[in-house]
Structure 1
């Protein structure tokens, strides 16, 4: 698969490394041409660099891996023509001080991205774990592969991202349409706050067999 990567930070590096190992072709776009070139070099011979718009138009899927304040600028630079019809993977987190979401109007980052990148098929994914988790080969704990919730409205886009999840050794989980992305974004803010506070959120959850009573 051909994958465009918008961003040169830790998430772009971690996920790009895994996808390069899986044999995908990558194009990296970033604000700094030097940083984009350095990341492409780390990713290996299947990676190259391009402008924001070139990376966005490069392949079937595009990873949006920039800080949430930079999202409008990056999407504008990429352009609607390049993003039209692409599977746009949103791994952003708009978590601010106090482990809360910056936007409290009920509109998720994924929905905001869909409003800007009209024509793109947005899927929320990969945002719920630190970049180092995605560097694991595979991300598995106690013998169980990590589950990755996906929110999106386009079945083909969800299937594409699901395949990329499996390339990491993880299992995709259907979390509903894009209107539910706000729920998983809020879940991530809650989890981060608990982890930073030294708690293990897994202790809050009963086994699936007891989810609706014993």
Structure 2
């Protein structure tokens, strides 16, 4: 798969390197060609580097790491994004004392409204960069979930495949509107790591449990809750 990285900070650099290790073709984009080229030189694995425009033109799948910024401010023309999968891995900034407001519009939905011809998919926003250092081993032993939401089913499946390639356990979360829940989950994870100072790097693993053979507690009774 040809993958373009728009913005080569911690997230872009880390995911780009991991995908390149799995033999995907990766192009690191940045505000200047020099910075993108420097990241590619450091990354190795036949990666390329240059401007964000070049990365957008190169990739069939694009990772958008530039939080809350309209692609029209990043690219010469957003037409280059038409029909491409655009992964949004961003969270809102952490407010003072972690006093988050309810997410009425996710960053992913905002991005989709700005580039309506792109296939925006939310993913990779619920773990710290340090977790990527464990990929693919021993990461895949911990069943770390990547929550994936997007309106296009094929685009979701592609991103889920890319997550599995680097040792994560993808979870299909359905339509893009559910990215509000995923971004809220990212806020909670950051609270655990930073606010609660748990030590290490908290993640979430979704497990599907079997139904109990014996309903010794009486089973679920009818109630007003659904």
Q: How many residues are aligned here? A: 208
Q: What is the DSSP-based 3-state SS (H/G/I as helix, E as strand, rest coil) of the residue aligned with 1:95? A: coil
Shift of 1:52: 1.9
Q: Which runs of 5+ in 1 are unaligned?
A: none
Structure-1 residue corresponding to 2:8: 8
CA contact (8 A) 2:106 2:179 kept: yes
Residues 59 and 176 of structure 1, relative CA distance in 2, 3 Å threshold:
same
1:189 aligns with 2:193: no
Structure-2 residue corresponding to 1:125: 123
Task: Tell me how large the CA RMSD over aligned residues is.
Answer: 2.8
Greater length-normalized contact order (CA 8 Å, ≥ 6 residues apart): 1
C-alpha distance in structure 2 between counterparts of 1:18 and 1:36, whole Å: 16
1:96 aligns with 2:94: yes
Structure-2 residue corresponding to 1:175: 173
C-alpha distance in structure 2 between counterparts of 1:152 and 1:202, whole Å: 22
**Higher alpha-carbon deviation: 46-55 or 117-126:** 46-55
Larger Rg: 2
Shift of 1:147: 1.3
Shift of 1:198: 3.0
CA contact (8 A) 2:38 2:49 kept: no
C-alpha distance in structure 1 between counterparts of 2:39 and 2:115, whole Å: 25
Q: What is the DSSP-based 3-state SS (H/G/I as helix, E as strand, rest coil) of the residue aligned with 1:96? A: coil
Q: Deviation per CA, 1:117-169: give whole Å up to 9, x if none.
A: 12000110001111111121326569332111101111111111111101101
C-alpha distance in structure 2 between counterparts of 1:75 and 1:100, whole Å: 31
Query: Normalised by the size of structure 2, how large is the TM-score?
Result: 0.81
CA contact (8 A) 1:28 1:36 kept: yes
1:31 aligns with 2:31: yes
Q: What is the DSSP-based 3-state SS (H/G/I as helix, E as strand, rest coil) of the residue aligned with 2:28? A: strand
C-alpha distance in structure 1 between counterparts of 2:157 and 2:80, whole Å: 21
Query: Normalised by the size of structure 1, how large is the TM-score?
Result: 0.85
Q: Which has the higher helix share?
A: 1
